[in-house]
A and B are shown apart, each in its own frame.
Chain A
Amino acid sequence: MYITFPQFPKYKVYISLHQNISSEKLQTIKENLASQNSEYNYCFLNAHHIISLAHLQQAIHRSVMNYSRGTMSAKTVNAEIILNLSPVNSIMDAFKNFGIREDCDSAIVVKIIEEDSNEDVSEKLTKLVGPESELNDQVLFDLVDFKRFKKVYKLNDAKFTHTQNDLSKLAIGACILRGC
């Protein structure tokens, strides 16, 4: 799906979910990311640590803001998204928790593009990662690894963590306050 942010009309964002990715494919993706193959210039995320679309979109929004202003903390906008999902400043930890790994068969892929570009992201991604799955809040919620999610966001002592909405708001708060 494509989203746009009212504040940043120059950009549109492509987001897709891919499930049951084979470990060979993950291996290939990881290798190409490591060698900075420009064909793989996407942000690949571990879907098991993302609780809602709002959670994901908060991080993308902040990354687009920093990208458009030249105030990014990471080297690339893809890494910036990963950092902005994290509640801690270490880019290593951010990649560990939100980047894809060989044992993570569900990935969210994000690509920030200029509004007037007519690049067919969807087609390219299907070739690289496989078919897209439906992406909505319910699907994301069903994929979350709650134990890990709560650990990453230090929510084990939080009072209300029953609903997706509760968890989503707390995760967003933690991302917003990263490094503060």
Chain B
Amino acid sequence: MTDHLIAAVQTHLPNIDVNIISQGAEALVFETTTHPYNQTSEDASKYIIKYRPPKPYRHPKIDASITKIRTVGEARIMYKLSKLGIPAPTLISSDFNNGIVWMEYLGYNLPNGNISSFKNWLWFLEETAKAQQDEEGEDLSLCVSEEVKLVCNKVGELIGRIHLNDVIHGDLTSSNIILLPENNEPALIDFGLSSISGLPEDKAVDLYVLERAILSTHSVFSNTYNTWLLQGYKDIHHSKEFKQGSKKYSETIKRLEDVRLRGRKRSMLG
């Protein structure tokens, strides 16, 4: 199944070493050590290639146009964020007709070898805390340290920043937030479902998706994390940098309460 997709990407990228790191519903993500056009000799950098393969169940012409629209759409959001100075991968190269985008590799490897997503980092802290625990019982303070609080606040600020620029991420999970080697500064990835909207409803849904993701992925401390995230979200809206931020903040949070209520009703109905 995956093999023929890898073979397909290799026909478009001959002589490029590709190492698959993720296979989602829509795209394959590879890492490579080869730069498409600017390889420098002592360069140990890695790059990401995101590939949307053809969908055999769609008419080829329609498929090609859908693939192109989605690939371009994602690239456009990445460019917009770069221009705004918001941490996200920058574009390196594209082959939109074949659903290919090359981008900067973000993040670093955690001591356990996993990529430094917000999710992996929180899990790593939990793992470390549990391994260190002695007879006196649980000490999970590592998971709710000042550093974790700071990172959560910064993630909230980051999301606030994109919302203040009317960018909706569309798939906010803790694995789509990558911590950078510089002070665990958060960056966003995966704009496959992103859109541009100023509506409080769309922003609230974005926040709700993240809230649910934190609840299911980091359940022990989810309330604490969500509180800290929302604090950062609030702070950035009240900073002088953004006009009308506090008004936008209250509209979105009001909406978030409605969205939560809808979510609860839906789950009660099953």
Asked if A174 is an interface residue, CB under 8 A from chain B, the answer is yes
Which residue of A has the minimal Cβ distance to B13? A7
Specify which of B14, B79, B85 is in contact with A173 (CB 8 Å cutoff): B79
Specify which of B16, B91, B92 is in contact with A7 (CB 8 Å cutoff): B16
Contact residues of A between 12 and 44, Cβ < 8 Å to B: none
Asked if A160 is an interface residue, CB under 8 A from chain B, the answer is yes
Specify which of B79, B83, B86, B95 is in contact with A65 (CB 8 Å cutoff): B95
Which residue of B has the minimal Cβ distance to A165? B90
Q: How far is A3 from B82 in the complex, measured between Cα atoms in Å?
A: 28
B68-98 interface bits toward A, Cβ cutoff 8 Å, 1 = contact, 0 = none: 0000100110110011111000111111110
Q: Taking the nearest CB of chain B, how far is it from the CB of A24, in angstroms? A: 35
Given A7-B16, A9-B15, does the pair A177, B38 have CB atoms closer than 8 Å? no
Measured between beta carbons, the chain B residues less than 8 angstroms from A160 are 85
Measured between beta carbons, the chain A residues less than 8 angstroms from B181 are none
Contact residues of B between 28 and 67, Cβ < 8 Å to A: 34, 36-39
Q: How far is A176 from B15 in the complex, measured between Cα atoms in Å?
A: 22
Asked if A53 is an interface residue, CB under 8 A from chain B, the answer is yes
Q: Taking the nearest CB of chain A, how far is it from the CB of B206, in angstroms? A: 22
Asked if A170 is an interface residue, CB under 8 A from chain B, the answer is yes
Measured between beta carbons, the chain A residues less than 8 angstroms from B91 are 169, 172-173, 176-177
Residue among B15, B83, B93 with max Cβ neighbours from chain A (10 Å): B83
Question: Could you tell me if B34 and A170 are in contact, using CB atoms closer than 8 angstroms?
Answer: no
Contact residues of A between 147 and 178, Cβ < 8 Å to B: 155, 157-160, 169-170, 172-174, 176-177
Asked if A71 is an interface residue, CB under 8 A from chain B, the answer is yes
Q: How far is A28 from B79 in the complex, measured between Cα atoms in Å?
A: 40
Specify which of A7, A9, A71, A170 is in contact with B36 (CB 8 Å cutoff): A7
Given A71-B97, A177-B75, A180-B75, does the pair A53, B38 have CB atoms closer than 8 Å? yes
Asked if A61 is an interface residue, CB under 8 A from chain B, the answer is yes
Question: Could you tell me if A6 and B97 are in contact, using CB atoms closer than 8 angstroms?
Answer: no
Specify which of B75, B83, B95, B97 is in contact with A159 (CB 8 Å cutoff): B83
Question: Could you tell me if A169 and B82 are in contact, using CB atoms closer than 8 angstroms?
Answer: yes
Q: How far is A62 from B92 in the complex, measured between Cα atoms in Å?
A: 11
Question: Could you tell me if A54 and B37 are in contact, using CB atoms closer than 8 angstroms?
Answer: yes
Question: Could you tell me if B90 and A169 are in contact, using CB atoms closer than 8 angstroms?
Answer: yes
Question: Could you tell me if B37 and A158 are in contact, using CB atoms closer than 8 angstroms?
Answer: no
Which residue of A has the minimal Cβ distance to B68? A180
* Contacts beyond the supplied A61-B36, A169-B91, A180-B76: 11 A-B pairs with Cβ under 8 Å: A7-B36, A53-B38, A54-B38, A58-B38, A58-B92, A170-B82, A172-B91, A172-B92, A173-B78, A173-B90, A176-B79
* A residues lining the B interface (CB < 8 Å): 3, 5-7, 9, 53-54, 57-58, 60-62, 65, 71, 155, 157-160, 169-170, 172-174, 176-177, 180
* B residues lining the A interface (CB < 8 Å): 13-16, 34, 36-39, 72, 75-76, 78-79, 82-86, 90-97
* In the A-B complex, the 5 residue pairs with the closest CB atoms: A159-B85, A61-B37, A173-B79, A57-B37, A6-B15
